[in-house]
Structure 1
Amino acid sequence: MTKYPHLLAPLDLGFVTLKNRVLMGSMHTGLEETKDWNRVAEFYATRARGGVALMVTGGMAPNKEGGVFPGAAGLFTDQDIANHRIVTDRVHEADGKIAMQILHAGRYAYGPDCVSASAVKSPISPFPPKEIDEDGIEKQISDFVTAATRAKEAGYDGVEVMGSEGYFINQFLVLHTNKRTDRWGGDYENRMRLPVEIVRRIRKAVGPDFIIIYRLSMIDLIPNGSSFEEVIQLAKAVEAAGATIINTGIGWHEARIPTIATSVPRRAFSWVTKKLMGHVNIPVITSNRINTPDVAEEVLADGCADMVSMARPFLADPNFVAKAVANRAETIAPCIACNQACLDHTFGGKLSSCLVNPRACFETELVVAPASEAKTIAVVGAGPAGLSTALTAAERGHKVTIFDRSDRLGGQLNLAKQVPGKEEFHGLVDWFETAVADAEIELRLNETATVDALQSFDEVVIATGVVPRDPEIEGQDLPQVLSYIDVLRGADVGKKVVVIGAGGIGFDVSEFLVTGDSPTVNLPEWLREWGVTDPSDQRGGLAPEGPQPDAPIRDVTLLQRKAEKPGRRLGKTTGWIHRATLQMKGVTMKGGVNYERITPEGIWVSTGEARENPTLIPCDNVVLCAGQVSERSLADALEAEGIPCHVIGGADVAAELDAKRAIDQGTRLAATL
């Protein structure tokens, strides 16, 4: 008896039946640009073997000017078709189905040849677009059709027309970017002509037995966005033009509202998709922050959609669906929506992967094979570095023992999960506990590993993490001075606080200090905090009163020594969210300060190399988040005794709480032991 009757039910599309209601949504991984087609094929085939009904590739450009960046992948030649045939054949051998997304970036294209409905520059690109004329529009439509027919020739089961997220098609739909007065601009009937014509001509070219997904922006989250009446009108027109399925897009890329980061509540926008249900007769897909089978089942049972799209959860665990079928959801490696190895990599020009699963996109390179000789392996430290090492080593057949002085697994993940907006870390720790139990790894918790205890093991891995750096501030021993560890473990903190250090930990601690009940676990509160409202009431779904966060529960000042904007070095795609959150909560952020001394009244600071303008910042507590240093004492003791060991994670490099590097390093080490 399945726990997920809606999720695992087949979906009849008329000419083909999907085996369940799960779509692996489009992700631009950068794999196609490597031109290693075996690698691309194995990425998708691995997910097909895991049971997903239908996958959508990363966006393929219909032409050079539509590429997200110069050199972006597309089906431009016969050789491209042959290369993609390698991918589709591998997927079909794995009993999967796959559609190719056609993505025209429009004014978001990162190059000087970008084009759009009007010459309105994007705030997230340095290149102003050229307004295309009637002939230019005809060329773009023709190129979409050509891309679709080539996709069919390459063996794809369908295409997805990317009409959301603020890309080219979306740019025609709204007055925000479409200033035209010809038959492609003006009233909505004209503005929606482009997507309808694209779908109509694709259907005519590919015939009836080919999936066409139209990705429709359900809520733009920008000024002058679409009204929901227009969304319904477009959905009906796209259906009439020949679309098989309508998929949900949420927000333009330039929108200043988070839509997929970990601080966004689960299924935060399924209510928007539900508003379309019943207005069209073709299946509707919902998306965004659906990351467990239970959440997906709930969404479908609530009538929010006919199908769910999950993208990054298939980076974290390609066997997501197979484990749901087996009623073993607790063994699914969770997507924590951190963005660190996926979107941050994509927007940084690097190959995507996954913090939780560094094998994602590296299936042919990071191979975990049975060990030729089973060894006894001691792993000291039960944080992310140690746990990833232990699990991978056990998977290869080694006998693993984990030592940790704490009474539970997780290391500093147990601190991170206390931060409002990082509730997904609870699930990550729970998953590690389940995985370690399933792997029959010996646990020696509440135990400090010694040199004597480690001598008998074939291999020793030191993953002892970090300890807070001593900032050497006069007065730091006063009782009102706390470390970030004290605070996140529940120490009493006054109403006026100064936080020393504006890195990731400083921002996390500041959010912890100013936030009462976390809006991440209260959708109405989160929508109000970010100024999101029903798109039936306001165009684009932006509340006219703007963001309305709850009042901060403390007065916090965040300081750093570096003479730069605090938070500048945070994650590429999430840093702005953290900065905006603290700004909404009234946190004062200052860079370029010297810490002179701490007194019972507060902290004295100055500015510049000459230490000018000495100023007292009164406060009840000072919280130290001034970085970390490696905890290497055990590694040094082993080295002194001539016992070799491997040092990884924070014990190796004392970066901030970087679980991405720790898990990757641990996995790669264990693959070689």
Structure 2
Amino acid sequence: MTLPNRSVMGSMHTGLEDRFWHADELGAFYAERAKGGVGLIVTGGIAPTRDGDLLPFGGRMATPLAVLHHRRVTDAVHEAGGRIAMQILHAGRYGVTPFKSAPGSEPSPIHPFKHMRMTESSIRRTIRAYGRAARLARKAGYDAVEIMGGEGYLINQFLCPHTNDRTDRWGGSTANRQRFLVEVIDEIRRQVPREFPVILRQSVADFVKDGQTFDEIALMARRAERHGVDAINTDIGWHEAKVPTIVTSVPRGAFVKFTERLRDEVSIPLIASNRINTPEYAEEILTTRQVDAVSMARPMLADPYFMAKAAEDRSDEINTCIGCNQACLDHAFVGKKVSCLV
């Protein structure tokens, strides 16, 4: 897949992913960003299974019917000249549903429902479901898939001692904790052609007690590349972390240095994210730092023509995201459609 530039509209939940009757509205939303010139759009997280839903009856890619609904989204983006990847997200213990499952025993500190501890058979079933979701995403017209492996969701819960207290082959040692993600990548690669791009959204700093060490993160990145991941879109922090990562007070590009640390570990493209909200700063990162692309989610919500205005030297006309989160993340966390105050 060749992109027209090095910008990515990062994944964010819009409140339109979860109901099929919103497919045309979601397609129009993304198509507007495609017209605005962004290189690649990544959808909000789509679950591979019911126990992976982020919200009750959330968006899921598991049936031929889902393919039909998603085709309306991808067709709209392609007609606008854009490219779009579907993010596969299993929420794990972060799901706001009574059906959720997770690898460890500790409940989520930020959601009320208790999860079911995953068994060997449910782990195997979930791995197969990731592969199925990728295969169906390709059938629905997506140009790539992104595996959500950060922000404290299921894969991150397997990777991190903070949430993985298992004593079987899926927990304990670094190799065991990484086994789930490795097998997910292998299963996806088994079900889609090698030329179909697979991106990994990888946490490069968990910011929670008993989080992954950098050596573990680097090892996982190297293993991901060997097993067929085509790019790593870096991620910072968990939803329960006490370190702020996206609010106004966080300096622009504060976490790019974490992405750069992976440059000596892998040869595949690295995508930096978090608090990159102006074209000038994005260009500075691309020209002076060791990353290959920049991901901006909320800035593309604030102004769908962010990239077009930047390309036409009209950056002073951009409606700049200020990181307030009041109409985007605050709405997403309570199941409302997102908007923007600026």
TM-score class normalised by the smaller sequence: over 0.9
| Cα contact 2:309–2:318 (8 A) shared by 1 | yes
Residue type of the alignment partner of 2:52? G
Task: Name the SS of the counterpart of 2:51 in structure 1.
Answer: coil
* 1:30 equivalent in structure 2: 15
Q: Partner amino acid for 1:337? A: G
Alpha-carbon distance between aligned partners in 1 of 2:290 and 2:327, rounded to the nearest angstrom: 30
Q: Deviations over 1:417-452 (max 9, x none)?
A: xxxxxxxxxxxxxxxxxxxxxxxxxxxxxxxxxxxx
Which residue matches 2:188? 202
Distance 2:290 2:106 in 1: 35
- Per-residue displacement from partner, 1:110-160 (whole Å, max 9, x unpaired)? 122211111211110112222111111001101111111110000000111
Amino acid at match of 2:16: L
Q: Distance in 2 between matches of 1:176 and 1:32?
A: 30
Counterpart for residue 179 of structure 2? 193
Q: For 1:436-585, what aligned pairs fall within 5 Å after superposition?
A: none
Task: Specify the alignment match of 1:141 in structure 2.
Answer: 127
Query: Which residue in the other structure is 1:88 paired with?
Result: 74
Q: What is the rounded CA distance, in whole Å, between the counterparts of 1:135 and 1:187 in structure 2?
A: 21
Task: Pick the aligned partner of 1:344 from 318, 322, 330.
Answer: 330
Shift of 1:313: 0.4
Partner of 2:51: 65
User: 1:119–1:128: 8 Å Cα contact kept in structure 2?
Assistant: no
Q: Deviations over 1:569-612 (max 9, x none)?
A: xxxxxxxxxxxxxxxxxxxxxxxxxxxxxxxxxxxxxxxxxxxx
Relative to the length of structure 1, the TM-score reads 0.50
Name 1:18's counterpart in structure 2: 3
- Residue type matched to 1:25 in 2? G
Is this contact kept in 1: 2:52–2:89, CA < 8 A? yes
Contact 2:23–2:70 (CA<8 Å) still a contact in 1?
yes
Contact 1:203 1:242 in 2 (8 A): yes
Q: Which residue pairs with 1:118 in the alignment?
A: 104
TM alignment of 1:355-374, pairs within 5 A: 355-356=341-342
Q: What is the CA–CA distance in structure 1 between the aligned matches of 2:53 and 2:246, rounded to whole Å? A: 23
Distance 1:17 1:321 in 2: 17
Partner of 1:283: 269
Shift of 1:77: 2.5
> Paired residue for 1:260?
246
1:323, distance to aligned residue in structure 2 (A): 0.8
Q: Distance in 1 between matches of 2:263 and 2:238?
A: 22
Paired residue type of 1:28 = H
Superposed CA RMSD? 1.0
Cα displacement (A) at 1:97: 0.4
Deviation at 1:83, TM superposition (A): 1.1
For residues 503-550 of structure 1, what are the alpha-carbon distances to aligned partners after superposition, in whole Å with 9 as ceiling and x for unaligned? xxxxxxxxxxxxxxxxxxxxxxxxxxxxxxxxxxxxxxxxxxxxxxxx
Name which structure has the greater RCO, CA cutoff 8 Å, separation 6+.
2
CA displacement, residues 264-305 of structure 1 (integer Å, 9 cap, x when unaligned): 111110111111112101000010000001111111122231
1:82 is paired with a residue whose SS is: helix
Provide the secondary structure at the position in 1 that maps to 2:18.
helix
**Counterpart of 2:68 in structure 1: which amino acid?**
A
Q: Note the alpha carbon deviations across 1:310-359, whole angstroms, 9 max, x for none.
A: 00001111111111111111111100111011001111221101111xxx
1:173 corresponds to: 159
| Structure with higher helix content | 2
Which amino acid in 1 is paired with 2:258?
V
Q: Distance in 2 between matches of 1:354 and 1:87?
A: 22
Amino acid at match of 2:338: S
User: Which of these two proteins has the greater Rg computed from alpha carbons?
Assistant: 1
Identity %: 52
1:31 is aligned with what amino acid? L
Look up the SS of the partner of 2:50 in the other structure.
coil
Match of 1:184 among 170, 195, 199: 170
Report the Cα distance in structure 2 between the residues aligned to 1:228 and 1:295, rounded to whole angstroms: 26
Instruction: Answer yes or no: is the 8 Å Cα contact 1:118–1:129 preserved in 2.
Output: no
Counterpart of 1:571? Answer: none
SS of the residue 1:59 aligns to? coil
For the residue of structure 2 that corresponds to 1:113, the secondary structure is coil
In the TM superposition, what is the alpha-carbon distance from 1:79 to its structure 2 partner?
2.0
1:328 matched residue in structure 2? 314
Whole-Å Cα distance in 2 between the matches of residues 285 and 133 of structure 1? 34
CA distance in 1, matches of 2:105, 2:115: 5
Map of 2:41 onto structure 1: 55
Query: Hey, what's the Cα distance between the residues in 2 that align with 1:204 and 1:283?
Result: 22
What's the CA shift string for 1:366-393, capped at 9, x where partnerless?
A: xxxxxxxxxxxxxxxxxxxxxxxxxxxx
What letter is aligned with 2:74?
T
Distance, in Å, in 1 between the alignment partners of 2:51 and 2:330 is 24
In 2, Cα distance between equivalents of 1:275 and 1:112: 39
Contact 1:26 1:58 in 2 (8 A): yes
- Tell me the SS of whatever aligns to 2:52: coil
1:62·1:147 contact (CA, 8 Å) conserved in 2?
Answer: yes
SS of match in other structure, 2:152: coil
1-side partners of 2:69 and 2:115: how far apart? 31
Matched, 1:45 2:31: yes
Letter in 1 for 2:17: E
CA contact (8 A) 1:176 1:224 kept: yes
For 2:102, the aligned partner's letter is S
Hey, what does 1:424 align to over in structure 2?
Answer: none
Q: CA deviation at 1:257?
A: 1.3
Letter in 1 for 2:126: Q
Is structure 2 residue 227 aligned with structure 1 residue 241?
yes
Structure 1 stretches of 4+ with a deviation exceeding 4 A read none
Q: Measure, in 2, the Cα distance between the counterparts of 1:129 and 1:341.
A: 29
Aligned to 2:168, the other structure's residue is in SS state coil
Distance, in Å, in 1 between the alignment partners of 2:318 and 2:167 is 52
Give the total of aligned pairs: 341
Tell whether 2:144 aligns with 1:163. no
CA-CA distance at 1:210 after TM superposition: 1.1
Q: CA–CA distance in 2 between the matches of 1:331 and 1:98? A: 26
Q: Secondary structure at the match of 2:281?
A: helix
Please, which runs of 5 or more residues in structure 1 have no aligned partner? 1-15, 357-673
